[in-house]
């Protein structure tokens, strides 16, 4: 299956979206070993992929995405916002490697103004921003948008802010140096903007100043691609992996210095992976998941751990349920792998949430 075919398959599966039910929050207590590895956490209330969650004030936020409502394959675009709060964990005893991990159930909050897939969520200056992505319209489900939509938890409201200067999606977005940075992804190649083939890879780098509600341009990423993963490590914006419309999966890895406004190449991923997620724990960058399309297609179980002092990757514990289109965030010293599909394209979309603790 070619990459374009993949998008047509997803498009054929999608149906109209509608808001889901509300989910009350309650605390699920679970005993979990202090040993390194993966542990299950409360699942999402819906099966969703192509999400970019974020963390703000100890809460995880997930909004939008491609949803599987009536079966395991995507058939809708979601407008739902789910929020989960984590309680401080308490060690038990002096010798037992046991603790109580308390994650509240996911709670449904105010939906996005419209169903969107691939919106990048960024926690920044007390708000959650949903940036870019796609919506259904004008003859397709891949109408790319420039929207910057801000969510405030206290009022439970979304507000439209200044849009990006261009539509942008399948990007990486982080909060860094007082700005929101958005880099690499895809944009429309011409006037058409409704289907996946209408867009091409870009290395554009845009920065949003919330105090001025305005966007400016920064140094572009030298390796245009889409579906990469991004995270902030040691004050720099790292982008890893991804794929190119005509070139397949990528192993490239760059780091952006916001002071110098420059990108530098770093050690590439040991394996080219697109549609992956990344997060930071213990001063290291962790990349995981993704999909491939040759030989019938599939998903990657591999987890890669990057040490910035050595500029070196090493293998981590494989994902217990390999997925692509998933989200990755970190809370404390642990990483959450959220949602995604266990088969390539829009098939076998899950609501799984699993948590990784790295070995010390």
Each residue of 275-324: pLDDT tens digit? 999 999 999 999 999 999 998 899 999 999 999 999 999 999 999 999 99
DSSP H/E element including 72: none
Largest CA-CA distance found in the chain, in angstroms, rounded: 65
Residue 225, SS3 per DSSP:
coil
Token code pair at residue 129: 């921003």
Confidence of residue 335 (pLDDT cuts 50, 70, 90): very high
Q: Give the pLDDT band of residue 25 (cuts 50, 70, 90).
A: very low
Range of the domain at 213: 3-357
Q: Which one, of 327, 316, 317, 318, lies nearest residue 350 by Cα?
A: 327
Q: Name the residue with higher pLDDT: 160 or 11.
A: 160
Percent of the chain scoring above 90 in pLDDT = 81
Q: Which residues contact 105 (CB under 8 A, 6 or more apart)?
A: 23, 24, 25, 26, 27, 28, 42, 84
Mean pLDDT rounded to a whole number for the chain: 90
| pLDDT band for position 52 (cuts 50, 70, 90) | very high
Give the CA-trace dihedral at 40, 43, 44, 45, to 10 degrees: 180
Least confident of 13-17, 94-98, 324-328: 13-17
Give me the mean pLDDT over the 195-203 stretch: 97
Q: What percent of the chain has pLDDT over 70?
A: 86
> CB–CB of 203/223 below 8 Å?
yes
CATH number at residue 171: 2.120.10.80
Rg, Å, the chain Cα set: 19
Query: How far is the C-alpha of 348 from the C-alpha of 340, rounded, in Å?
Result: 9
61, 53 Cβ separation under 8 angstroms: yes
Token output for 39: 């542990």
Tokens read off for 189: 């190649």
Query: What is the four-CA torsion angle of 123, 125, 128, 129, rounded to 10 degrees?
Result: -100
Contacts of 332 (CB under 8 A, 6+ apart): none
8 Å CB contact between 21 and 335: no
- What does the pLDDT average to over 111-138? 97
- Residues found in the chain: 360
Query: Alpha-carbon distance 194 to 178, whole Å?
Result: 34
- For residue 123, give every residue at least 6 positions away whose Cβ sits within 8 Å of its Cβ, in sequence order, or none: 54, 55, 56, 57, 61, 129, 175
Cα distance between residue 221 and residue 334, in whole Å: 29
The residue written with tokens 């994650």 in the block is: 103
Helices and strands, counts by H and E, the chain:
1, 35
pLDDT tens for residues 138-193? Answer: 889 999 999 999 999 999 999 999 999 999 999 999 999 999 999 999 999 999 99
The answer to whether 51 touches 88, Cβ cutoff 8 Å, is no
Indicate whether this model's pTM tops 0.85.
yes
- Which ranges constitute the DSSP H helices of 289-343? none
Mean pLDDT to the nearest integer, 22-42: 62
Q: State the pLDDT at residue 19.
A: 33
Q: Return d(Cα 178, Cα 196) in angstroms, integer.
A: 33
pLDDT beyond 70 at 274: yes
For 231-254, write each residue's pLDDT tens digit. 999 999 999 999 999 899 999 999
3-state secondary structure of 7: helix
Q: Pairing relation of β-strands 179-188 and 199-209? A: antiparallel
Q: Give the separation between CA 238 and CA 336, rounded to whole angstroms.
A: 18
At 138 the pLDDT is 80
Identify the CA nearest to 239 among candidates 297, 170, 177: 170
Whether residue 87 is predicted with pLDDT greater than 90 in this model: the reply is: no
Is the Cβ–Cβ distance between 98 and 33 less than 8 Å?
yes
What confidence score (pLDDT) does residue 29 get?
45
Q: Domain total for the chain?
A: 1
Whole-angstrom Cα distance, residue 145 to residue 148? Answer: 9
């Amino acid at each position: 299956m070619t990459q374009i075919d993949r998008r047509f398959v997803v498009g054929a599966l999608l149906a109209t979206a509608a808001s889901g039910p509300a989910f009350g929050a309650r605390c699920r207590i679970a005993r979990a070993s202090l040993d390194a590895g993966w542990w299950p956490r409360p699942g999402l209330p819906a099966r969703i992929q192509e999400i970019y969650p974020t963390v703000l004030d100890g809460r995880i936020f997930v909004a939008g995405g491609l949803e599987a409502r009536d079966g395991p394959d995507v058939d809708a675009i979601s407008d739902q916002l789910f929020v989960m709060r984590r309680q401080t964990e308490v060690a038990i005893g002096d010798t037992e490697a046991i603790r109580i991990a308390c994650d509240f159930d996911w709670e449904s909050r105010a939906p996005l103004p419209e169903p969107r897939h691939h919106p990048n969520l960024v926690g920044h200056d007390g708000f959650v921003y949903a940036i870019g992505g796609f919506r259904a319209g004008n003859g397709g489900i891949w109408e790319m948008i420039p929207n910057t939509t801000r969510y405030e938890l206290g009022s439970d409201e979304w507000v439209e802010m200044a849009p990006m200067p261009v539509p942008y999606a399948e990007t990486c977005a982080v909060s860094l140096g007082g700005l929101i940075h958005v880099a690499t992804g895809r944009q429309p190649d011409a006037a058409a903007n409704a289907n996946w083939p209408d867009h091409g890879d870009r290395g554009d780098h845009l920065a949003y100043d919330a105090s001025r509600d305005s966007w400016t341009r920064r140094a572009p990423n030298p390796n245009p691609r889409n579906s990469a993963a991004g995270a902030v490590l040691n004050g720099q914006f790292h982008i890893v992996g991804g794929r190119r419309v005509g070139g397949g999966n990528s192993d490239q890895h760059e780091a952006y210095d916001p002071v110098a406004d420059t990108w530098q190449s770093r050690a590439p991923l040991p394996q080219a992976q697109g549609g992956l997620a990344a997060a930071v724990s213990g001063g290291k960058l962790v990349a995981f998941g993704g999909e491939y399309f040759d030989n019938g297609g599939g998903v990657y179980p591999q987890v890669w751990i990057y040490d910035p002092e050595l500029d070196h990757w090493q293998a981590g514990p494989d994902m217990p349920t390999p997925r692509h289109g998933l989200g990755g965030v970190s809370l404390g010293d642990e990483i959450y792998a959220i949602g995604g599909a266990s088969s390539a394209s829009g098939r076998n979309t899950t609501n799984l949430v699993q948590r990784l603790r790295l070995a010390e």
